C-alpha cells in the first residue's frame, strides 16, 4: 500500500502559495481558519487553541506521509511538528517572508532556529532568507512562488482609457495616501485599487480623486483578471522587512504584466530585471507609472523573460523537496504496527472477531484486545505472543430487552479506564471498535488524542435492527435516537467498515462520505486442506448460528416435515443457541421430527466447521422481517469456504453478492420452496458441486483481507514500501 499524500498546512483562509506547493508535490492543501475568531484581540488565544485542536484532528484523520507547515504563525508550526514527531512522519517548514523577522514575528527567530535543526527541510520564497536559514541548517531550500497563467483569470472588461491596477490589501504596510495623491496627478488614467475598504477611514475614501476605483476584496480569479485587464500593475508595499517578496509581484510576472514596485532591497534583487522601481512618494510614483504606461511593451517582454527563469528555478526546487521527502521516508525506521481492538463480543468464540485478530497477527501486528468474557459462551485457549487480552467479566443474556442496555452501559464504563491505561502505556497505529453498541466508539477517545486512527466496525445497523426487532413504527423515539447516535459515532470515526454493499449505501445515504466506508464481508478463511472430508452417506442438512426468529430455523424445520417422506434418511443438524431454541424444539416435537432434527447448542468453531464440512447442504433460511433483507450472514460464507452447497432465502443483499448460479434460492419463509430446492440438489449432486465451486470463485478471501487491512490503514506483509 502506497504512502498517503503529503499535506501542506496553513492557518489561513487561503494562500495561493500553499495551494500551489501542494499541487506541485501531489499533496493536499489544508487551511485551518475561523472567520468568527479571526479578529484577534482577546480572542487570539481562543483562536489558536481551536486551530491547534482542529489541526491535530485533521492530521490524524488524513495521516499524511509528510507535513509542510506554513510559518507564521509559530503555534501552527509547533502543533504540526509535535504531531509529525509523535507519528514518525516527515515534516518541513515553509517560511513566508517575515516569518521570523520584522515587528510582528521577529521575536520568534530563536525558536525558529531550534525548529530548523529538527525539520527535514526549511523552504523560503526568497533567496536572501534562505541564506539566513542556512546559518542554522544545511537543509534550507529556496522555493520561488508558483506563477499563475491567464487560464486561471476571470475576464474583466477593458477600459477606454489607460488603466493602472494597484494590487494590495490596504494593510498598514501600504502607503495608501501617497498612492491616492499620485493618482490625482494622472487624471486621464483609471487607477483601480484592490483591498478591503473596511480598513480605510471614511476621510481617505471620500478624498479619493475621481479617477480612482476601489474594487474591494477580490476573489483570486477576479484578482488575476484585473491584472490582465490593466496596462500596468503596481504593488506598493513596504513593512520594513528588508527582503519582503509580495505575492502579487509574482502573480504579475506570471501573467507577464508591466510592473511597478517600490524600491526595496527585496524588489531590486528579485524583480529588478523586469520592473520599474520608485520611492514611496506621490511624485516619483506618478512619474514612474506614466513612464511604465509608455514602455509597457518593453516591460511585458521583460516580465515574460523573468517568468521563464523563475519557472525553471521553481521546478528545480520542487525536485529537491521531493528528493528530501523521499529520502526522509526511506530513512524512517519501520515501526511495528500496533492495534487496539475494542469489542463487546467474546473471543475467540465470535468468528468475525477471531478472524480480524488472526489477520492482524498474521501481518505481524501487536494487538491489545479489550473484549467481554462471558461464562455462558464457549471458550478455548487462543494464545499468541503478540496478543494481549484484556477481558471484562460480563455474562451475556438475550432477555429481557433491558439487559442489552445494561450490558452496553456496563461494558462501556468498564472498558474506558482500561483503554485510558493502555493509551498511556503504548502508542497505537489504529484502534478498531466494533458495534454494538454504537456509542462504544467514544471509548477510543484517549487513543485518538494520541494520534491513532479510529475505525468503527459495523456488525449491525442499529436503527434498522431496532425497528425490526421491536416492531417500531417510523419516527418512533427509539428510532430517532438510535439514528442520531449512529451519525455521531460514524462521524467520530476516521473510517467505517460494513459487511455488505447495502449497508454501505445506507450509511452513504445518511451523509457519511463514501470514501470513508469500506465493505468487508463476513467471510472467515479456513485452513488449507481442511475441506477434504468425507461427507456423510445419508443426506444431512445443517444450519448454525444464533437461534432467533429472524434466522428462520423454523422454516428449515417445516421443510424437514415435507422432505422426510421423500428422503427417509435425511436429518437436520442445528448448531447454536438463543432465545428461540425452546420454541424450535417444541415445533420439532409437534411435527414428529425428534429423530430427524438434532440441536447441538454452542460448540467451538473448529468443531462446528467439521460438522459443516461433513454436511450435504447448508441452509440460510433468513426471513424477510425488515432487517433480514440487509443481512449477508457469516454462515453462508462458511458453507462457501467449506465447499458445502448452499440454499438461501432470496433476499436482496445476499443476491447482490451471490448470483443464482452460485447459491440455490427460495422465497423467504416458504418452507415448501426450500424443500423443493433441497430435493433438487440431492437428486442432482453434479449441479450442487458446480454451484459450490462457483460460489467459491466469487468469495475470493484474499480481496476481503486486503480490504480489511486497507480500511485500517495498515500495510500488508510483503507490500511494496
Inform me whether the pLDDT recorded for 456 exceeds 60: yes
Q: Which domains does the chain have, with CATH numbers?
A: 7-142 (3.40.50.2000), 150-311 (3.40.50.2000), 338-460+494-519 (3.40.50.2000), 540-700 (3.40.50.2000)
pLDDT given at position 717? 52
Whether residue 570 contacts residue 538, with contact meaning beta carbons closer than 8 Å, is answered with: yes
Contact 25, 4 (CB under 8 A): no
Tens of pLDDT along 221-274?
Answer: 999 999 999 999 999 988 666 566 788 999 999 999 999 999 988 888 889 899
Helices marked H in 390-476: 401-425, 445-448, 462-469
Angle subtended by helix axes 296-331 and 247-254, to nearest 10: 110
Angle at which helix 176-184 crosses helix 282-294, to 10 degrees, equals 60
Supply the DSSP symbol for 514.
G
Question: 611 vs 603, which has greater pLDDT?
Answer: 611
Q: What are the Cα distances from residue 97, in Å, to 70, 147, 376?
A: 11, 17, 68
Query: Residue 333: what pLDDT?
Result: 46
324, pLDDT greater than 60: yes
- Three-class secondary structure assignment of 611-649: HHHHCCEEEECCCCCCCHHHCCCHHHHHHHHHCCCEEEE
How do residues 403-423 score in pLDDT, each as one tens digit?
Answer: 888 999 999 999 999 999 999
Contact between residue 168 and residue 236 where contact means Cβ atoms under 8 Å apart: yes
The confidence score (pLDDT) of residue 334 equals 46
131-145, 203-217, 671-685: which has the minimum mean pLDDT?
131-145
Q: What is the pLDDT of residues 534-557, one digit of tens each?
A: 666 799 999 999 899 999 999 999
Residue 105: strand, helix, or coil: helix
pLDDT value of position 560: 97
pLDDT band at 331 (very low <50, low <70, confident <90, very high): very low
Ranges 398-412, 597-611, 663-677, 695-709, most confident:
663-677
pTM of the model: 0.58
Residues 239/173, Cβ–Cβ less than 8 Å? yes
Q: How confident is the model at residue 720 (pLDDT cuts 50, 70, 90)?
A: very low
Which pLDDT band, with edges at 50, 70 and 90, does 719 fall under?
A: very low
Q: Give the pLDDT band (50/70/90) at residue 393.
A: very high
Q: What percent of the chain has pLDDT over 90?
A: 63
Specify the higher pLDDT residue, 384 or 242: 384
Q: What is the pLDDT of residue 270?
A: 84
- How far is Cα 530 from Cα 511, in angstroms, rounded to an integer? 43
Q: Which of 38-52, 113-127, 487-501, 696-710 has the lowest mean pLDDT?
A: 38-52
Q: Which residue did the predictor score with more confidence, 633 or 525?
A: 633
With CA atoms as reference, report the closest residue to 97 among 70, 67, 63: 70
- For range 291-314, the mean pLDDT: 93
Judge whether residue 286 has pLDDT over 50.
yes
Task: State how far the Cα of 254 lies from the Cα of 433, in Å rounded to an integer.
Answer: 51
Confidence of residue 39 (pLDDT cuts 50, 70, 90): low
Quote the pLDDT of residue 721: 35
Amino acid at each position: 500500500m502506497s504512502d498517503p499524500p503529503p499535506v501542506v498546512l496553513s492557518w489561513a483562509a487561503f494562500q495561493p502559495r500553499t495551494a500551489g506547493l501542494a499541487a506541485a508535490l501531489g499533496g493536499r492543501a489544508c487551511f485551518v481558519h475561523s472567520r468568527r475568531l479571526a479578529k484577534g484581540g482577546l480572542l487570539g488565544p481562543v483562536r489558536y487553541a481551536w486551530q491547534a485542536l482542529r489541526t491535530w484532528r485533521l492530521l490524524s484523520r488524513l495521516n499524511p506521509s509528510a507535513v509542510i507547515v506554513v510559518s507564521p504563525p509559530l503555534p501552527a508550526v509547533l502543533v504540526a511538528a509535535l504531531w509529525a514527531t509523535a507519528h514518525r512522519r516527515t515534516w518541513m517548514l515553509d517560511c513566508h517572508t517575515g516569518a521570523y523577522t520584522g515587528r510582528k514575528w521577529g521575536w520568534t527567530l530563536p525558536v525558529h532556529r531550534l525548529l530548523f535543526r529538527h525539520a527535514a527541510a526549511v523552504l523560503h520564497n526568497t533567496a536572501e532568507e534562505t541564506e539566513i536559514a542556512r546559518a542554522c541548517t544545511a537543509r534550507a531550500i529556496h522555493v520561488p512562488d508558483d506563477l499563475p497563467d491567464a487560464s486561471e483569470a476571470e475576464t474583466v472588461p477593458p477600459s477606454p482609457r489607460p488603466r493602472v491596477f494597484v494590487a494590495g490589501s490596504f494593510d498598514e504596510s501600504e502607503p495608501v495616501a501617497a498612492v491616492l495623491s499620485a493618482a490625482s496627478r494622472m487624471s486621464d488614467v483609471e487607477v483601480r485599487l484592490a483591498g478591503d475598504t473596511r480598513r480605510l477611514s471614511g476621510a481617505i475614501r471620500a478624498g479619493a480623486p475621481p479617477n480612482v476605483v476601489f474594487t474591494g476584496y477580490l476573489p483570486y480569479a477576479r484578482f488575476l483578471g484585473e491584472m490582465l485587464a490593466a496596462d500596468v500593475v503596481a504593488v506598493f508595499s513596504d513593512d520594513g522587512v528588508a527582503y519582503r517578496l509580495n505575492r502579487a509581484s509574482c502573480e504579475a510576472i506570471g501573467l507577464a504584466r508591466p510592473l511597478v514596485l517600490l524600491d526595496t532591497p527585496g524588489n531590486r534583487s528579485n524583480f529588478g530585471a523586469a520592473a520599474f522601481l520608485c520611492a514611496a512618494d506621490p511624485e516619483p510614483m506618478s512619474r514612474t507609472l506614466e513612464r511604465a504606461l509608455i514602455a509597457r511593451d518593453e516591460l511585458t517582454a521583460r516580465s515574460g523573460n523573468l517568468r521563464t527563469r523563475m519557472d525553471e528555478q521553481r521546478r528545480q526546487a520542487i525536485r529537491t523537496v521531493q528528493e528530501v521527502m523521499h529520502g526522509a521516508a526511506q530513512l524512517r525506521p519501520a515501526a511495528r504496527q500496533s492495534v487496539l481492538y475494542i469489542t463487546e463480543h467474546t473471543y475467540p468464540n465470535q468468528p468475525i472477531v477471531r478472524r480480524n485478530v488472526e489477520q492482524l497477527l498474521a501481518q505481524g501486528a501487536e494487538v491489545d484486545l479489550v473484549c467481554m468474557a462471558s461464562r455462558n459462551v464457549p471458550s478455548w485457549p487462543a494464545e499468541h505472543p503478540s496478543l494481549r487480552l484484556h477481558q471484562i467479566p460480563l455474562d451475556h443474556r438475550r432477555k429481557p430487552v433491558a439487559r442489552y442496555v445494561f450490558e452496553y452501559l456496563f461494558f462501556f464504563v468498564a472498558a474506558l479506564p482500561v483503554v485510558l491505561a493502555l493509551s498511556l502505556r503504548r502508542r497505537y497505529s489504529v484502534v478498531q471498535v466494533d458495534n454494538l453498541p454504537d456509542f462504544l466508539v467514544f471509548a477510543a477517545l484517549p487513543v485518538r488524542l494520541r494520534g491513532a486512527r479510529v475505525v468503527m466496525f459495523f456488525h449491525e445497523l442499529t436503527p434498522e435492527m431496532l425497528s425490526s426487532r421491536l416492531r417500531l413504527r417510523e419516527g418512533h423515539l427509539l428510532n430517532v435516537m438510535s439514528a442520531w447516535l449512529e451519525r455521531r459515532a460514524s462521524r467520530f470515526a476516521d473510517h467505517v467498515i460494513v459487511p455488505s454493499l447495502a449497508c454501505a449505501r445506507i450509511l452513504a445515504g445518511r451523509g457519511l462520505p463514501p470514501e470513508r466506508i469500506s465493505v468487508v464481508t463476513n467471510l472467515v478463511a479456513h485452513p488449507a486442506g481442511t475441506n477434504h472430508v468425507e461427507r456423510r452417506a445419508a443426506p444431512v442438512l445443517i444450519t448454525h448460528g444464533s437461534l432467533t426468529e429472524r434466522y428462520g430455523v423454523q422454516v428449515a424445520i417445516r421443510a424437514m416435515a415435507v422432505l422426510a417422506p421423500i428422503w427417509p434418511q435425511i436429518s437436520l443438524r442445528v448448531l447454536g443457541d438463543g432465545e428461540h431454541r425452546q420454541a424450535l424444539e417444541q415445533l420439532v416435537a409437534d411435527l414428529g421430527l425428534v429423530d430427524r432434527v438434532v440441536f447441538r447448542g454452542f460448540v467451538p468453531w473448529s468443531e462446528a466447521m467439521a460438522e459443516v464440512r461433513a454436511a450435504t447442504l447448508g441452509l440460510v433460511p433468513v426471513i424477510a422481517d425488515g432487517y433480514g433483507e440487509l443481512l449477508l450472514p457469516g454462515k453462508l460464507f462458511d458453507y462457501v469456504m467449506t465447499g458445502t452447497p448452499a440454499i438461501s432465502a432470496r433476499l436482496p443483499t445476499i443476491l447482490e453478492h451471490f448470483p443464482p448460479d452460485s447459491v440455490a434460492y427460495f422465497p423467504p419463509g416458504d418452507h415448501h420452496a426450500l424443500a423443493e430446492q433441497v430435493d433438487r440438489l440431492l437428486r442432482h449432486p453434479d449441479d450442487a458441486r458446480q454451484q459450490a465451486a462457483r460460489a467459491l470463485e466469487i468469495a475470493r478471501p484474499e480481496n476481503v483481507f486486503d480490504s480489511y487491512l486497507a480500511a485500517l490503514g495498515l500495510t500488508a506483509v510483503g507490500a511494496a514500501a
